[in-house]
Chain A
Amino acid sequence: MLNRWSSFSYLLTFIIILPIALVINHAFGSDTETLTHLKETVLVEYVTTTFILVVGVGLLSLILGVFSAYLTTFYEFKLIGFFIFSLALPFAIPTYIMGYIYSDIFGYFNYFHLFLRSLGIKEYFNVLNIYSVIVIMSLALYPYVYLIVKASFEKSKSALLNPALSLGSSRKKLFFKIILPLSRPAIVGSLALVMMETISEYGITEYYNIKTMTPAIFNTWFGLHDSKSATYIAVMAMIMVLAVLGFEKYNRGKASYKIENSNTEVTKQTLKGYKLYLSYFFLSIPIIFGFIIPLIWIGVYSYEYLTTSIDEKFITILTNSLISSTLSAFIIMFFAFLVAYTSRIYPNLINRYLSKILSLGFTMPGAVIAIGIIMLFTDIDKWLIEHYITTTMFLSGSYFTLLFAYIVRFFAIGVSSVESSFERVSMDLNKASRSLGYNYFETMKKVELPLMKNSLLFGFALVFIATIKELPVTLVLRPFNYETFATKAYTLANSQMIHETALYSLGIIVLSLIPLTIIILKRHR
């Protein structure tokens, strides 16, 4: 018989997975005229461009992330604390904001070209191309690789470094033969996140006019009003992501990457001479270009527009961003906790896979989710009207729609942080509590929740940051006249009012930096 915990989790899974299932179902069937036309003309270009972008961003993020993590984990040098902290900071700047900033800096009448002309160089370097997008996106997304791989390096450091060094391995050999292969799940996992974000990215690709699949989905749906073709492209984007994940799983085979915990102290090697300066140079690049320059730009223009932009409307946008991110992070963490707890106390085959199924939303481009939710809520609204329960489109375009979309999209972030913190709380504590007279619910309240407080806060912060930066879903599903910092910055940038975006970008960065700082400090401690 189904217990209450499992029943609730199954119902939740069904509701969350429904929009994705609808998109997939809608995509198949007879080709529309538009789709045939797309296939004959631009579809191949969409796929190829997306592929190039994904590979480029993946590679560059990998180099920046892995080497930064390696240097700050296995070596000792002056200012290491500063670098550990600062390397994560570009995470607070959304990709599209970084895109707007660099398009401005490299604009014909702006800093870079003015400087060149002062040197007598008249040539114009147009940055609105795929290579710039690859660099900018890598600067914004490499922190995924850095943070996740660093955590894995930290774990393997004490367990493996001493045994390997005692066997006579050189540091180079150790890195390539032991550390890298053992951190493969972390590297691939973080790389998958980078790739998914790249496929899903809308703001920068649209602004730089890069013809990838996500802008194509938007244009087909909203420009050509062809939902079938849009969903077809969406499903293709989804298949691309799943193919990446599937390839890794197949390739990994039965290899084990489990590292036993060890508390052995490890003596880090101190970097000196040219190696130290090379490391400083390498580590400074992502911090300068990924955080400091964008922050200076934002600071300058925020100051310029401070008096004119901070008004009642700005406060409303601030409130909107804060409320929607806090609310969705809270709801996601609450549901994620329930689902993860269900699979903890009833670890049957279905329950073990629930969190994976519920995480599908994160593997989809935001546009796909938005489309699925529009389809779902339109159908529900039609049914409600047909059955005289309501007279208007009750759900479509409501705030609830937007919240629901955030839940579908970011559930994976919440559930993975809850699951990993459950791993650290022994199941014996749960059993002990039950043998002392408490049921599952009371045990959860009295034992697991207090022990996981910090980890839950960490998960909350991650979802909060993801939501505050989110653009495509918010853009499509927001209620009429509803603005967040992200949508406002996008609207202004698209109206060629780049400098006016600064204050809204600052809003995103400040709101992201608060939880991000807590995360970094807690991790470092």
Chain B
Amino acid sequence: MILELKDLNKSFDKAVLKNINLEIEQGEIISILGKSGSGKSTLLNIIAGFQKAGSGSLVINEQTVFNKKIDIEPQNRNIGFVFQNYALFPHLNVKDNLLFGVKNKKDKSIVSQLLELVELQGYEKKYPHELSGGEQQRISIARVLATNPDIILLDEPFSSVDTLLKAEIEKELLTLIKKSGKTAIFVTHDPKEAMAISDKIAFIEDGEIIQYDTPQNIYYKPKSKVVASFFGIANFIGEQCYRLNEITLNVDEGMYGVKVNYSIFRGEYHELHIDVNVDNQEYPFVVFDYSNFHKKEEFFISLRKRV
């Protein structure tokens, strides 16, 4: 176990984190996902040591860094932190930024190794303002890797990236972290981003971890309607959640008969708002129609759970 959080609590005017319990294995990539103000950044700052928890304990690589009696400073926790705005030191060039946290500064070979890893060879003399957003991010990751941390913490690393570049940078970053074999914890409010990069997702709501699971499980087997709807369109029959790709629309026959309430044209498909009749009880569903179901008043659907 590389990180263990036990019964962690934090309050400002009101409780921000409530009984957080989390266990992370070496090499795992984890996302802490939640809305703004849910407490996810506070949790990351507490792990880093920038903020102090009210109670509970925190163990990094078998060393207790926080409990009732211990509170180890961030500089002694052996963590790496990647900031939203990258926080490269503007007065230092790339080489000096990379060497900033390195104890043995005489060993310059590490600079070329890291630049090769992030594919920015020849950038040693450049200053942060001369780099693009993506390049700055890669340097900030390289700077963190230079200190060989036990865990890398990333606070919304894609929030200031252009949407068009996001997928590419996500892939680059993920490859980099996987290559390094490090444990990483991302904080994000974007469920698609969380699913794309994580081995596990901790969904946090009002300071509580509601579900901690693999992206597949959290998507197809959400523990609550809040979790389900955060990840996209979710239809429920009782407690069972059905995603769009678990629903098949049929003209003549199917498991359940449906009645179309209204449809919205969305370009490549129509968004249909329907009532599904299950044992004489009606459940509201939203489905996507890529053919002509929106022209009908009634049709059938079949449901099949994927996970």
Chain A interface helix/strand/loop/mixed: helix
Q: How far is the CB of B102 from chain A (nearest CB, A)?
A: 9
Tell me the complex Cα distance, A446–B91, Å: 10
A residues near B (Cβ < 8 Å) are 426, 428-429, 431-439, 446-447, 450-451
A-B contact pairs, 9 of them (CB 8 A): A426-B87, A428-B83, A432-B89, A434-B73, A435-B77, A435-B144, A436-B144, A437-B103, A439-B73
Query: Which of A431, A439, A451 contacts B90 (CB under 8 A)?
Result: A451
A contact residues around B89 at 8 Å (CB): 429, 432-433, 447, 451
A contact residues around B85 at 8 Å (CB): 426, 428
B79 within 8 A of A: yes
B75 within 8 A of A: yes
Query: Which of B49, B83, B91 contacts A432 (CB under 8 A)?
Result: B83
Q: A429-B87, A447-B89, A450-B91 are in contact. Are A435 and B100 (CB under 8 A)?
A: no
B27 within 8 A of A: no
Query: Which of A431, A436, A446, A447 contacts B147 (CB under 8 A)?
Result: A436
B81 within 8 A of A: yes
Contact between B87 and A434, CB atoms less than 8 A apart: no
Proximity string of chain B (193-229) to chain A, C-beta cutoff 8 Å, 1 when within and 0 when not: 0000000000000000000000000000000000000
Tell me the complex Cα distance, A438–B74, Å: 9
B contact residues around A435 at 8 Å (CB): 48, 74-75, 77, 79-81, 144, 153
Q: How far is the CB of A421 from chain B (nearest CB, A)?
A: 14
In the complex, chain B residues 131-158 whose Cβ is within 8 Å of any chain A Cβ: 143-144, 147, 153
Contact between B75 and A438, CB atoms less than 8 A apart: yes
Chain B: which residue is nearest A432 at the CB level? Answer: B87
A contact residues around B73 at 8 Å (CB): 434, 439
In the complex, chain B residues 14-59 whose Cβ is within 8 Å of any chain A Cβ: 48-50
B residues near A (Cβ < 8 Å) are 48-50, 73-77, 79-81, 83-85, 87, 89-91, 100-101, 103, 143-144, 147, 153
Chain B interface helix/strand/loop/mixed: loop
Query: Which of B74, B76, B101, B103 contacts A431 (CB under 8 A)?
Result: B74
- Additional A-B contacts beyond A433-B89, A435-B80, A439-B73 (19; CB < 8 A): A426-B87, A428-B85, A431-B50, A431-B74, A431-B83, A431-B87, A432-B83, A432-B89, A434-B49, A435-B74, A435-B79, A435-B144, A436-B75, A436-B100, A437-B75, A437-B101, A437-B147, A446-B100, A451-B90
Contact between B87 and A436, CB atoms less than 8 A apart: no
Chain B: which residue is nearest A451 at the CB level? Answer: B91
B contact residues around A432 at 8 Å (CB): 81, 83, 87, 89
Tell me the complex Cα distance, A432–B101, Å: 10
B contact residues around A431 at 8 Å (CB): 48, 50, 74, 81, 83, 87
A contact residues around B153 at 8 Å (CB): 435
Q: How far is the CB of A443 from chain B (nearest CB, A)?
A: 8
A contact residues around B84 at 8 Å (CB): 428
Contact between B90 and A436, CB atoms less than 8 A apart: no
A contact residues around B75 at 8 Å (CB): 434-439
Tell me the complex Cα distance, A439–B100, Å: 13
Q: How far is the CB of B12 from chain A (nearest CB, A)?
A: 12
Contact between B143 and A436, CB atoms less than 8 A apart: yes
Chain B: which residue is nearest A453 at the CB level? Answer: B91
Q: How far is the CB of B178 from chain A (nearest CB, A)?
A: 21
B contact residues around A433 at 8 Å (CB): 89, 100
Tell me the complex Cα distance, A321–B147, Å: 50
Q: Name the residue among A426, A435, A436, A437 with the largest chain B CB count within 10 angstroms.
A: A435
Chain B: which residue is nearest A428 at the CB level? Answer: B87
Chain B: which residue is nearest A443 at the CB level? Answer: B75
A contact residues around B79 at 8 Å (CB): 435
Q: A426-B85, A428-B83, A428-B85 are in contact. Are A434 and B91 (CB under 8 A)?
A: no
Tell me the complex Cα distance, A426–B81, Å: 15
Tell me the complex Cα distance, A438–B84, Å: 20
A contact residues around B90 at 8 Å (CB): 451
Chain A: which residue is nearest B83 at the CB level? Answer: A428
Q: How far is the CB of A246 from chain B (nearest CB, A)?
A: 27
Tell me the complex Cα distance, A433–B49, Å: 13
Q: How far is the CB of B81 from chain A (nearest CB, A)?
A: 4
A contact residues around B83 at 8 Å (CB): 428, 431-432
B contact residues around A451 at 8 Å (CB): 89-91
Tell me the complex Cα distance, A426–B143, Å: 18
B contact residues around A446 at 8 Å (CB): 100
Q: Name the residue among A426, A428, A436, A451 with the largest chain B CB count within 10 angstroms.
A: A436
Tell me the complex Cα distance, A157–B86, Å: 29
Q: How far is the CB of B61 from chain A (nearest CB, A)?
A: 15
